[in-house]
A and B are shown apart, each in its own frame.
Chain A
Amino acid sequence: MQTATLPTPVTQPRSAPPEPVGTGVRSFSLTINGAEYELNVAPWTTLLDALREYLDLTGTKKGCDHGQCGACTVLVDGKRINSCLTLAVMHEDHQITTIEGLADAQTGDLHPVQQAFIDHDAFQCGYCTPGQICSAVGMINEGRVKTDADIRELMSGNICRCGAYPHIVDAIRDVMQLNPTAQ
């Protein structure tokens, strides 16, 4: 079994980008999965690119870069958002949770949604999966789901091209202990 550990915070981007034209690289920090990360990036760097290109947190996926597919879903202060539609610099002082931060860092125990996704085979290629799982965790936090139909509607911002939807619904229903026949 692999152990989920928090990534080591980095203090510098892997290769420091030169000063962009006419603007300034900004230095700021982001709190991701409970750890502080120092960033020096241009202000037009999206949160998604900051995670993937500068912090090596590649669990968050890029599927469209236009807020249309949900693969980049992360949790900001517990709420699910598309990290491609927001600038990294807008999230100083926020608590950001990515797929890498859901399992218990000490024990390696998976988050119940992660475990349910495995148990119900709620993915195939796995590329949309981090976004689906973060979205499901965010949805459960929202506390509005009562039925399968609610799950289907409220999970519709996350495309799964492999078509694992019935199993995604099964997994989430299982975690929420909903009655499958509830209307």
Chain B
Amino acid sequence: MITYPFQYKRAGSISEAVALLAEGGKALSGGHSLIPSMKLRLNAPDALVDVGRIAELKGIRLDGNELVIGAGSTHGDIASSGLVQQHVPMFAEGAGHIGDPAVRNRGTIGGSLAHADPSADWPAMVLAADATIVVEGPSGSRSIKATDFFTSMFETALAADELITEVRVPVENGARMTYQKFSQPASRYAIVGCAVVKSADGKVRVAFSGVSDTPFRDTAVEEQLNSGQSATSVASGVSVMSDHYASEEYRRHLANVFLKRALNAVA
């Protein structure tokens, strides 16, 4: 039950969605981030623009050396996609562990990225994969590097009148990758989610969800690892969250454990 009235508008195309968003409101895709937050009144848009039926937002394809995932793809679509399993297996692995199966059948990658929950799984994965998030707004389309996308807790570089249309992930031959997470036992959000991509040349990219109020690439650790040192500086320079499930100290411990497990998985 949502506790307040709002308008419901349905968009048939990306351009229609952008036009409707210009009138105010928020895009509604699977609704699995937005509707719970509206029920809790953490979000109270006057209008919802249903983008769930826009065919252009669906589908997963290869475009040159990029895998292009439509923003309306559900976590379940991504987990079971042969193209994803072949070219960006971490995404299939990670998507298969988001929430529970009913959530994976409705929740979409675009919706999750736009919501930018610091404990969601996609942020760490798109950061480590060095993905690009393509958005469409009144003045056309623009591409935002994942590293520039997450600005703070629940905040992104996405403007209110923009719609995420696709996620473009570079396909690296010979790269190994993994997403390892320690789930909050009831909700299965990431207490710590660690994504690691190891290129064919042995260089690694490391990103974390759940650790800090903003998901981040751990460049300090990357530097250590890429210069042959051991990773001693996990999550240095970020403020680590502390809550009932995991104190700051325990979260740091978990970040180290899961980085180690991730590095073993790509070794």
Contact = CB atoms under 8 A, between A and B. Distances in A.
A and B touch in the complex (CB under 8 A): yes
Contacts of A22: 5, 7
B102 A23 contact: no
8 contacts: A44-B2, A46-B2, A66-B39, A81-B102, A85-B35, A86-B30, A90-B31, A154-B101
Contacts of B4: 44
Interface in B91-119: 99-103, 105-106
Interface in B5-20: 5-8
Interface string A34-48: 000000001110100
A76 B30 CA distance: 13
Interface of B: 1-2, 4-8, 28, 30-32, 35-36, 39-40, 48, 50, 52, 76, 99-103, 105-106, 186-187
Given A65-B1, A85-B36, A135-B101, 17 more contacts: A22-B5, A44-B5, A44-B6, A49-B1, A66-B36, A66-B40, A73-B102, A80-B102, A80-B105, A82-B106, A85-B31, A86-B106, A89-B50, A90-B50, A135-B102, A156-B100, A157-B102
Contacts of B105: 76, 79-81, 138
Which of A66, A68, A79, A85 has the most C-beta atoms of chain B within 10 angstroms of its own C-beta? A85
Interface in A10-55: 20-23, 26, 42-44, 46, 49
Nearest to A21: B5
A70 B99 CA distance: 12
Interface of A: 20-23, 26, 42-44, 46, 49, 65-68, 70, 73, 76, 79-82, 85-87, 89-90, 135, 138-139, 142, 154, 156-158
Contacts, number: 86
Given A79-B105, A81-B102, A67 B36 contact: yes
A20 B5 contact: yes
A82 B103 contact: yes
A74 to B, nearest CB: 9
A171 B50 CA distance: 38
Contact of A86 (B1, B6, B31, B76): B31
Contact of B52 (A23, A43, A67, A90): A90
Contacts of B99: 157
Which of B28, B35, B48 has the most C-beta atoms of chain A within 10 angstroms of its own C-beta? B35
